[in-house]
A and B are shown apart, each in its own frame.
Chain A
Amino acid sequence: MELKIIDKTEDEMHLEIIGENHTLLNMLKSALLDDKRVQIATYDMKHVSISDPILFVKTDGADPIEVVKDAANNIVNDCDEFLGVFKTAIDI
């Protein structure tokens, strides 16, 4: 995974996430939209197999990098929670 910040202002950011696809980006978008600071979160992939996705975030003034970082941490927590409950469920 490689990141390329295409443009960034105080409350907006276009971020290209090289080598990723809908799997991560859709989760990231949904995690961002759950955040109260985020006004717009969306992503675009020009072509499903040859393009890299570009994430667009607009916040109410918070640093977009911080917001995306928090969203990524939320996904990690979600995964931990899922792995935890799944492992306990299959042990029974």
Chain B
Amino acid sequence: MTMEVDILELSERSAKFILSNASAAFANGVRRASLSDVPTLAIDDVNIYNNTSVLFDEQLALRLGLIPLTTDIEEFVPVEECTCGGAECPACKVSLTLSAEGPRMVYSGDLVSSDERVQAADQNVPIIDLKEGQKVVLEAIAHMNYGHKHAKWQAGVACGYKNMPIVTFENCDECGACVNECPKNIIHIGPNGAEISGDDILKCILCKLCASVCEIDAVTVSEDEKSFIFTMESDGSYTVQQLIINAGTTIKEKASRLGEILESL
């Protein structure tokens, strides 16, 4: 059986799709890889020249680190894997500067990047509110790394899946108990008793309240173990399409590396 992908929703930052004829291990692999194994850029070191704001240097640095930066996965490599050997060459490091004086709110859009491809993914993330006479001057150094090192390098946020729900109604007496019980309000009474129409089945959360409330056991709830409804969201480093493709590619690279090593034994 070949895998099938059916896109339900797709935008720049988020996607919803059905993956069918895949194993649970594969679905989980894609989910785990997009959360922790797809490298992305994030601010890692901060050189603080001046900071007379109310935040401590460390807190300011932490806030800067968590700002998503747009990343081109082809152009950068993690520092540990770079050919420069940790000397920080342009392939593994991007420098951004921030210089602001109060009174005003400093946003992520105020970061000035040395590389035009690397910008704050959202321009409106508040960094600090400066009052009259307060000043922040700093240089931030972004490195590429993986989500399993630190959450700031997580390219995928809110990635998850559920199995495709299967709800069947047999010999329904149209009492309407399940209609009222369903928290998602997707069951309604049709010509042949209770039913769920069209894409409403995707909203089912498999809570089985409809089955437990039915007095004549007309409702059965089960799940398709080979079919998954995926919800993926990117932090803005990549488009969500690139995120999913990168996740698939990293798993493939890991597996082929394993094959190669075993071949050479």
Residue of B nearest to A29 (CB): B25
A85-B2 in contact (CB<8A): yes
For B248, the closest partner residue in chain A by CB is A83
B265 touches A85 (CB 8 A): no
Please report whether the interface of chain A is mostly helix, strand, loop or mixed according to DSSP. Answer: helix
Count residues of A near B (Cβ-Cβ below 8 Å). 37
CB distance from A69 to the nearest CB of B (A): 4
Contact size range, B: 35 or more
Residue among B5, B255, B262 making CB contact with A85, cutoff 8 Å: B5
Minimal Cβ-Cβ distance residue in B for A3? B261
Give the chain B neighbours of A68 by CB distance below 8 A: 258, 262
Per the bound structure, the CA–CA distance linking A46 and B252 in Å amounts to 25
Contact status B262-A3, CB under 8 Å: yes
| Chain B residues in 8 Å Cβ range of A5 | 265
Residues of A close to B36: CB separation below 8 A: 23
Supposing A23-B32, A26-B28, A72-B258 touch, asked if A85 and B251 sit within 8 A by C-beta, the answer is no
B256 and A76 form a contact (CB under 8 A): yes
**B262 partner, pick from A23, A72, A76, A83, beta carbons under 8 A:** A72
How far is it, in angstroms, between the C-alpha of A27 and the C-alpha of B251 when the chains are bound?
Answer: 9
Indicate with 1 or 0, residue by residue over A80-91, a CB within 8 angstroms of chain B CB atoms. Answer: 111101111110
Q: A23-B33, A81-B2 are in contact. Are A86 and B248 (CB under 8 A)?
A: yes
- In Å, the complex CA distance between A23 and B23 comes to 13
Shortest Cβ distance from residue A19 to the other chain B in the assembled complex, whole angstroms: 10
B261 touching A1, Cβ below 8 Å:
yes
* Docked-complex contact A24 and B29, CB < 8 angstroms: yes
Which secondary structure dominates where chain B touches chain A? helix
A85, B3: Cβ atoms closer than 8 Å = yes
User: B4 — nearest CB in chain A belongs to which residue?
Assistant: A85
Q: How would residues 1 to 33 of chain A score, 1 for a CB under 8 Å from any chain B CB and 0 otherwise?
A: 111010000000000010011111011111100
B28 partner residues in chain A, CB cutoff 8 A: 26-27
In the complex, the answer to whether A72 meets B24 with C-beta atoms within 8 Å is no
Residue of A nearest to B29 (CB): A27
A89 contacts B17, CB within 8 Å? yes
* CB–CB B262/A82 < 8 A: no
Pairwise interchain contact A82-B248, C-beta atoms closer than 8 A: yes
- Within 8 Å of chain B (Cβ to Cβ): is A39? no
* 19 intermolecular pairs with C-beta atoms under 8 Å apart: A1-B254, A23-B36, A23-B37, A26-B28, A65-B265, A69-B262, A72-B255, A72-B256, A76-B252, A76-B255, A76-B259, A79-B249, A79-B251, A81-B2, A82-B22, A85-B4, A89-B5, A90-B7, A90-B10
Q: Which residues of B contact A (CB under 8 A)?
A: 2-7, 10, 17, 19, 22-26, 28-30, 32-33, 36-37, 148, 241, 244-245, 248-249, 251-252, 254-259, 261-263, 265
10 A-B pairs closest in CB distance: A30-B25, A79-B252, A75-B255, A72-B259, A89-B5, A23-B32, A69-B262, A72-B258, A27-B29, A83-B248
